[in-house]
């Protein structure tokens, strides 16, 4: 397989498992602890839930429905993706029976757990590492960080610090079994392009295995939408965002898997920016621009 310009999720796991691997979103049915403090001002959970999760179902029914409606026979193997609402915030007594059940499915190659830096708990990791031992299955812990700049974290109402993220990474690194992913958000009001690049470089230096990049989307029902209506938030234009990615991707080491390059909220929830372009077209545009400029992931790093 010819190495692509970007080590994407699909390329990386096809190379690793010898066949296409998908992500199957599953919903544990609880609420993120940060919602007790008003929640992050950009976050609206329904914006990123696939249709089959809208109706309340138990996890086995979600897996059956998800395989049928979401994986669409395109992927036989999949990661069970606990993306919603800080997956590690529930007590182990509720989480582990679910993980145990999911891991018995031979088509499931592992878990992806999405969480916050302040919900990476040592005891939980120790129990999870023990559960995974001998299964041969992967586990990626994705941490929502969004920015390394404290003023941005405060503005977003994240209620954690950048130091919390560093501590969470150090804790996860004590366990060989886990990989670390980081989410970064671009276009936060008040951040310059240099600030965004700084966030990427900082997190690269800390040492992560995966990135998810998002541009700021203004979603219905959020505090960010109110600020947008008041003219206090200007979403990034598509061309500016692509330019930003052309600066960022060459600074990301080739070994890091880039799971996502932009946000894709449900159109019913999205107020702005409305780029009116399919993700596949955007992807193609980025790849073309990278080819024209002879750029690839990590190409600006000295080896």
Q: Are 244 and 188 in contact (CB under 8 A)?
A: no
In the bound state with ligand SF4, the residue whose beta carbon lies nearer, of 43 and 103, is 43
Which residues are within 8 A (CB) of 122 and not within 5 positions of it... i.e. 6 or more apart?
A: 171, 174
Shortest Cβ 230–ligand SF4 spacing (Å): 21
DSSP 8-state assignment for residue 298? T
Shortest Cβ 178–ligand SF4 spacing (Å): 19
Shortest Cβ 26–ligand SF4 spacing (Å): 15
In the bound state with ligand SF4, the residue whose beta carbon lies nearer, of 201 and 221, is 221
**Cα 38 off chain centre by:** 21
For residue 26, what are its two tokens?
A: 């599953």
In the bound state with ligand SF4, the residue whose beta carbon lies nearer, of 34 and 297, is 34
In the bound state with ligand SF4, the residue whose beta carbon lies nearer, of 84 and 297, is 84
CA distance 34 to 157: 9
Distances (CA, A) of 115 to 39, 41, 64, 95: 14, 17, 24, 13
Shortest Cβ 219–ligand SF4 spacing (Å): 11
In the bound state with ligand SF4, the residue whose beta carbon lies nearer, of 5 and 183, is 183
- Where do contacts with ligand SF4 occur on this chain (CB under 6 A)? 32, 34-35, 39-40, 43, 85-86, 116, 144
Shortest Cβ 185–ligand SF4 spacing (Å): 9
The values of phi and psi at residue 146, to 5°, are: 80, -45
In the bound state with ligand SF4, the residue whose beta carbon lies nearer, of 153 and 261, is 153
Q: How do 138-146 and 218-219 pair as beta strands?
A: unpaired
Q: How do 210-215 and 138-146 pair as beta strands?
A: unpaired
**In terms of residues, how long is the chain?**
303
Shortest Cβ 86–ligand SF4 spacing (Å): 5
Distances (CA, A) of 195 to 135, 142, 162, 212: 41, 22, 14, 17
């Amino acid at each position: 397989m010819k190495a692509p310009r970007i080590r994407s999720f699909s390329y990386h796991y096809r190379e690793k498992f010898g066949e296409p691997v998908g992500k199957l979103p599953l919903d544990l049915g609880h609420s993120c602890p940060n919602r007790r403090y008003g929640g992050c001002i950009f976050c609206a959970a329904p914006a990123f839930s696939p249709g089959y999760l809208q109706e309340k179902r138990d996890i086995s029914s979600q897996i059956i429905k998800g395989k049928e409606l979401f994986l669409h026979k395109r992927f036989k193997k999949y990661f069970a993706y606990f993306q919603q609402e800080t997956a590690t915030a529930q007590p182990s007594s509720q989480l582990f029976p679910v993980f145990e059940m999911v891991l018995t499915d031979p088509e499931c190659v592992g878990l992806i757990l999405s969480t916050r830096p302040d919900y990476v708990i040592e005891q939980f990791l120790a129990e999870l590492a023990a559960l995974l031992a001998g299964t041969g299955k992967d586990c990626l812990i994705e941490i929502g960080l969004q920015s390394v700049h404290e003023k941005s974290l405060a503005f977003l109402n994240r209620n954690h610090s950048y130091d919390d993220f560093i501590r969470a990474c150090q804790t996860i690194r004590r366990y060989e079994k886990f990989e670390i992913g980081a989410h970064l958000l671009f276009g936060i009001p008040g951040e310059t392009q240099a600030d965004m690049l700084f966030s990427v470089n900082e997190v690269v230096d800390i040492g992560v295995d995966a990135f998810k990049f998002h541009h700021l989307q203004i979603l219905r029902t959020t505090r960010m939408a109110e600020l947008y209506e008041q003219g206090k938030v200007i979403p990034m234009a598509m061309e500016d965002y692509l330019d930003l990615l052309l600066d960022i991707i060459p600074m990301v080491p080739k070994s890091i898997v880039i799971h996502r390059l932009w946000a894709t909220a449900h159109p019913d929830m999205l107020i702005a920016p409305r780029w009116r372009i399919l993700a596949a077209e955007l992807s193609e545009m980025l790849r073309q621009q990278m080819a024209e400029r002879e750029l690839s992931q990590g190409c600006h790093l000295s080896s």
